[in-house]
Amino acid sequence: MDAERYPPTPPGPSYRWWNLGIRLGIGAACVGMLGFLALIVVMITPMSGDGRWATIGIAVAWLMIIGGTALAVASGIKRGGATFANAHTSDGTIIDIAKVASADDDTYHYRLTLIAEQTDGPALLRHLPTDGTSDPEIGQIVPFRHTTFDPDALDDVETPTVVTRRAVTSEVDNVRGD
């Protein structure tokens, strides 16, 4: 990637907030884990005394572990979407379809190769993985979002959840990997 010629679009401010949520969640989970371990040590020492406070402490530690983990996971999911908050939108034409089989079972997905012509720069080439629920066609136009105009940033792509079929110029017989 040529960062000087094609600088990436910075993510929106929500990206930074979700990133903070991840850090706070991981921090809370770590504090909860340390608290849990400290309470275990206190409980096994002969001078632990009343076990009621240790039980409450263990419950609080587990709540911090579970809550922190949930916050970190939820923030990570939201941060992924916020990466493309300020992204550019282009219409790419499918030029290649690769059918990729799953290693675990008999399912498969497609890896689409898109090309998007730009009026004031080189054409963008992107690889887009799909879930295999629809059959794409060569020549189909797929709108996508990207954060850089670097023609070689193949993985810099996000698509809307609903892909409409707008133009089909050839048959599906061009599919590789069958």
- pLDDT, residue 27, reads 93
Instruction: Provide the residue type at 41 as one letter.
Output: V
- Total-model pTM: 0.56
Upper half-sphere CA count for residue 30 (Cβ side, 13 Å): 7
CB 113 within 8 A of CB 99: no
What pLDDT does 176 receive? 45
Q: What is the pLDDT of residue 83?
A: 75
What number of other Cβ atoms are within 10 A of residue 28's Cβ? 20
> Average pLDDT per run of 10 along the chain, which is 178 residues long?
63 82 92 86 67 77 91 87 77 86 76 85 84 78 83 77 43 42
Which of 123, 129, 119 is CA-nearest to residue 93? 123
Predicted local distance difference test score (pLDDT) of residue 170: 38
- pLDDT attached to residue 166: 43
- What's the rounded Cα separation, in Å, for the pair 69 and 58? 16
CB atoms within 10 A of CB 71: 19
Domain ranges for the chain, please list them: 13-82, 88-174
- Would you state the pLDDT for residue 171? 39
Q: Other C-beta atoms within 10 Å of 29: how many? A: 19
